[in-house]
Chain A
Amino acid sequence: MPHVLTRSLDRSATVFLLVVAAVGVLIPLSNLLLPEGSLFQVPTYLMSLFGKYVCYAILALSIDLIWGYCGILSLGHGAFFALGGYAMGMYLMRQIGSRGVYGNPILPDFMVFLNYPKLPWYWYGFDMLWFAALMVLLVPGLLAFCFGWLAFRSRVTGVYLSIITQAMTYALLLAFFRNDFGFGGNNGLTDFKDILGFNVQAESTRAALFALSCLALIVGFLLCRAVVTSKLGKVLIAIRDAESRTRFLGYRVESYKLFVFTLSACMAGVAGALYVPQVGIINPGEFAPGNSIEAVIWVAVGGRGTLIGAALGAVVVNYAKTVFTSGPLAPYWLFMLGALFILVTLLLPKGIVGTFNAWWEPWKAQRLSANAESAAREDGVSEPKMAE
């Protein structure tokens, strides 16, 4: 384990983790301990907003893991995110109990409204958090495993894979919009009351959820770093850059891809599960293909193949979105988002962090050699080579 840690943590990764940890501790503390109105007190709404960004950052990490390091561009990762969210939402619905509008102790409101005689079998067990948490990992993981097994085995690659992942999330979108699918139709799941007995609206619960999201980001980041810096990670990069050649060298490309795709889907599921209690609603809109593509652009903006960049990109783009869509520039936000897609792919193919690295590395190398220091530790952040 220590070996894995030292290998995974280069200087920038350590800095990143420290920053996330500091944010995860300081923001909740400032929110809870400082008096309201104080200069350093972070208002609850802002904390929830950042909590949302952190969840997006986890989603971006999961996309970067497969796109940046294995060349799999999934346009359906929003589906895994939403499935995780639904699993958590189902737990939260069951927690409402008899406090719903219709006061039914077992059935959620929408089921009473739609005349369900009893709880559908797939809602069993969701009254326990551990079960819901298991499902958060299992459902997206299983879907990704089946989907990936079918897709990778028949060597569906490149844009074909992107398009069928998009079709997958589109099919789920249509399915979840149906009332008789048993997940609340187009209203989705909402009106949550509490989680593990704590009120989801309470500031302390929100602070805890924020801290938890930061923790999940740290764990997710470490996990991704462990994967990409391992031997497995080298094979993944080889697949990204020359899939056939890797196969001819004797690696079972499908298995590697399947593993990393499933892992990434589980991460996305966790992100969704943390997202739902913080925003208070999950509805089929989360499955919209547009959402998944937007998540991909966060990674592209931050820099694909740089895990820090993915997380950074998610936060930066979403912060920009919040600022612009709430201001007088709201009608122009889509222009800006569209332009972002075009300009990043045309002018900044390495993303912010990738471009920064490209400038920084030579300068650092020069300085190092000037100081006559012998070979610095491999920084591990591999230069993303633009595949295909």
Chain B
Amino acid sequence: MLTNVLRNFRALPFAILLIVATALPVLAGPFEDAVSKFANDEFSDTEEAVGAIATSGNPLAYPIISALQDGRLMADPETKKVYVTQTDGKIIDAATGTPVASIPDSAAAVRLNNRLRRTVEAALGGLTLLSPDPAKRIQAAQSVFKTHDETMLPVIDGALQKETNKGAKLAFSEARAAILLFKADATDAEKLEAIATIKARGDQEALALLTGLTGDQPPAIAHAAANATSAIQSNLALWSMVQNAWYGLSLGSVLLLAAIGLAITFGVMGVINMAHGEMVMIGAYVTFVVQEVIRTSYPGLFDYSLLMAVPLAFIVAGAIGILIERTIIRFLYGRPLETLLATWGLSLVLQQAVRTMFGPTNREVGNPSWMSGAFELGQITITYNRLWILCFTMAVFAILLAMLRYTSLGLEMRAVTQNRRMAASMGIATSRVDALTFGLGSGIAGIAGVALSQIDNVSPNLGQSYIIDSFMVVVFGGVGNLWGTLVGAFTLGIANKFLEPVAGAVLGKIAILVLIILFIQKRPRGLFALKGRAVEA
């Protein structure tokens, strides 16, 4: 008895697959007959039934066999009817799929023994490959690709023949290639073809598969495999470069957003605003408040919350900025070091004020539906929120640039930047320009806060984490030139992300700081310094 069971055990996968493979062409088999065999309550009949149903291609096959596995398959020996209790508690007739009100009392669960359980499991694995849902088929094929289980080859072959979905077809052929590559009795030609298919796939798993190949291959195959490995490696290296570049662009856009307001106030007024980070934080809290109001009063508008928060954050932060300029900074012009200290004090006050009002913990700011999720591009994943922030940053930058270039306020600001006394002599109200500039810079910090609330924790310390980086961007890019800020932000962002995999996140950051300090040696006024012959003090 025991030996018998063991023998059956060993022969089992072959038996199943033989059944599956041979029966595949006969798709419209006597499904109802097979189902009624469950009612005989004989293990041999049940096994036959499983084999027949698994190969029938009937959409009920999967629910029936998984019900059998879970003991949810009930059979009535008298009427030969079989019922499936679905996972949601509803009952259907297994043969027809029609709903049934209740199972007759004479029905009993179809019994399984260990051997049958194996049969059922194998049948289910094959069924997923034949699942009507293409996504499930692809998933099943992927797992076959990873395990390259030889016994799956007939199923894959069968599935490949009748597959119409493009993605699933590719997945099947890749799985087939993986199996053939490791199949002892496959021909060299088959193996070479398999290597080509795997090479075309070109991801980390393909690489793992190829490097897992044993050393005793014929020279031609070993050579092809080595070639494919190096091709995949260089391909992957390229994609990881693209990935790093994307991360760098994303970080750069965040840095640019945080630094751009600073560049304006620093560039035009020579004012170091240490409270700039707090303007960003205020913008983020404006977003929080807007979302809170929407949540409690107009839940349907949630997707528009950011659109509403942007102008509001600009107005709130801008107004606070103008207030600060009028009450504090105005009195400190020409004393940049004192301005630095006063604005630092201001940042402490603002942080503590927000902490008192909203509490010291992180507040929940949600992503609208159009900002959540991600999509695949080649071998990299791009999240929508990062993509939107990049677009948003570029839009803000373009608007700002246009504003400086084409509006009268922009003209006045540029004039004051270039030569304050001359501008004043030409009748520009420099103090008004100063206040508006400071308001503008603060307002832009506010809308930066709206964007950053989507990717960072909204807490009173939000601004602190950006202030040093923002200063680095401005110092690196050069003062008084928005393009410098743009180049500086993206350079620092990309350099940071390329250093990170090599040196680690923290060391990468330290390296960047050291590099900036060294860079300042070469160009003390940044990348794009304003040219001039004036000597300071």
Contacts and interface: CB of A to CB of B under 8 A. Distances in A.
Contacts of B344: 293, 341
Given A174-B506, A289-B468, A338 B475 contact: no
Nearest to A297: B341
B346 A341 contact: yes
Contacts of A293: 341, 344
B352 A338 contact: yes
Contacts of B513: 167-168, 170-171
A345 B338 contact: yes
A154 B522 contact: yes
B537 interface: yes
Contacts of A339: 345, 349
A165 to B, nearest CB: 9
B328 interface: yes
Interface string B308-348: 00000000000000000000100110111111111011111
Main secondary structure of the interface of B (DSSP, over half): helix
A167 B516 contact: yes
A147 B337 CA distance: 20
Contact of B337 (A155, A162, A177, A340): A162
B336 A338 contact: no
Contacts of A345: 332, 335, 338-339, 341-342, 345
Contacts of B516: 164, 167
A334 B471 contact: no
A160 B352 contact: no
B332 A300 contact: no
A82 interface: no
A154 B520 contact: yes
Nearest to B520: A156
Contacts of A128: none
Contacts of B349: 334-335, 338-339, 342
Contacts of A388: 334-337, 537
Interface string B92-134: 0000000000000000000000000000000000000000000
Of B338, B348, B518, most buried by chain A (CB within 10 Å of CB) is B348
Interface string B470-498: 01100100000000000000000000000
B348 A334 contact: yes
A341 B341 contact: yes
B340 A244 contact: no
A305 to B, nearest CB: 13
B524 A174 contact: no
Interface residues of A, number: 51
A362 B91 CA distance: 103
Contacts of A164: 475, 516-517, 520
A73 interface: yes
A265 interface: no
B468 A341 contact: no
B345 A341 contact: yes
Interface string A145-175: 0010011011111111011101110110011
Contact of A331 (B272, B340, B356, B521): B356
A157 B341 contact: no
A175 B506 contact: yes
B510 interface: yes
A46 interface: no
Nearest to A149: B521
B477 to A, nearest CB: 13
B401 interface: no
B376 interface: no
B536 A342 contact: no
A159 to B, nearest CB: 5
A174 B509 contact: yes
B374 interface: no
B471 A163 contact: yes
B272 A340 contact: no
A157 B536 contact: yes
B342 A346 contact: yes
Contact of A73 (B337, B348, B353, B507): B337
B336 A166 contact: no
A296 B341 CA distance: 8
Given A158-B336, A159-B340, A171-B510, A335 B352 contact: yes
A349 B272 CA distance: 18
Contacts of B518: 150
Contact of B348 (A177, A289, A341, A346): A341
A163 B335 CA distance: 15
A55 to B, nearest CB: 22
B1 interface: no
B337 A158 contact: yes
B517 A150 contact: yes
Contacts of A289: 468
A334 B516 CA distance: 32
Interface in A315-368: 331-332, 334-335, 337-342, 344-346, 349
Give the residue among A150, A156, A160, A341 with the most B Cβ atoms within 10 A: A341
B495 to A, nearest CB: 15
A104 B334 CA distance: 58
B287 interface: no
Given A168-B517, A335-B352, A175 B537 contact: no
B332 A163 contact: no
A341 B535 CA distance: 30
Interface string B352-385: 1100100000000000000000000000000000
28 contacts: A150-B517, A151-B520, A151-B521, A153-B521, A154-B521, A159-B336, A160-B520, A162-B337, A164-B475, A166-B468, A167-B468, A167-B517, A175-B506, A175-B510, A178-B506, A243-B537, A297-B341, A331-B356, A335-B352, A338-B345, A338-B350, A338-B352, A340-B345, A341-B346, A342-B346, A345-B332, A345-B345, A346-B331
Given A158-B536, A164-B517, A244-B535, 10 more contacts: A73-B337, A154-B521, A163-B472, A166-B468, A171-B513, A245-B537, A335-B353, A339-B345, A345-B345, A388-B334
* Among all A-B residue pairs, the 10 with the closest Cβ atoms: A341-B345, A338-B348, A338-B349, A334-B352, A171-B513, A338-B345, A345-B338, A345-B342, A154-B521, A342-B345
